[in-house]
Amino acid sequence: MAYFQALSIKGVDSGPCLLLVVNGHGYMFNAPEGIQRQLGESRRSPAKLRHIFMTRTSHCSVPGLIGLLMTLRDTPRGDQRIWVHGSEVITGLVMHAKYVLLFIAV
């Protein structure tokens, strides 16, 4: 079974976010600010996300990416990886945030 769900629409300070679910696995397009809250409100588990596609590098589409990755870091996923797809700007952003994303409090 496959379906699309709009998690957010373009607003004054937020960009659109679309979730594609195929056989229970999630594919997210863009990560605007507040995406974790919107996932919770739509009763979607971030643990099922496998791929995040960043289609833009604008201030409306990217702000929630690092927070979402931190949430996914703390979500039990077994050995599943999360893949982020985007431009070199997105790759650089994730690489610069890797120390925050890999931080484990003792």
pLDDT tens per residue across span 8-43: 877 666 788 999 999 988 999 999 988 888 888 888
How far is 87 from 55, CA to CA, in rounded Å? 8
> Which domains are present in the chain?
2-102 (3.60.15.10)
Residues 6+ apart with CB under 8 A from 25: 48, 50
Q: Are 28 and 17 in contact (CB under 8 A)?
A: yes
User: pLDDT tens digit string along 48-97?
Assistant: 889 999 998 888 888 899 989 988 888 777 677 889 999 999 999 988 88
Instruction: Report pTM.
Output: 0.85
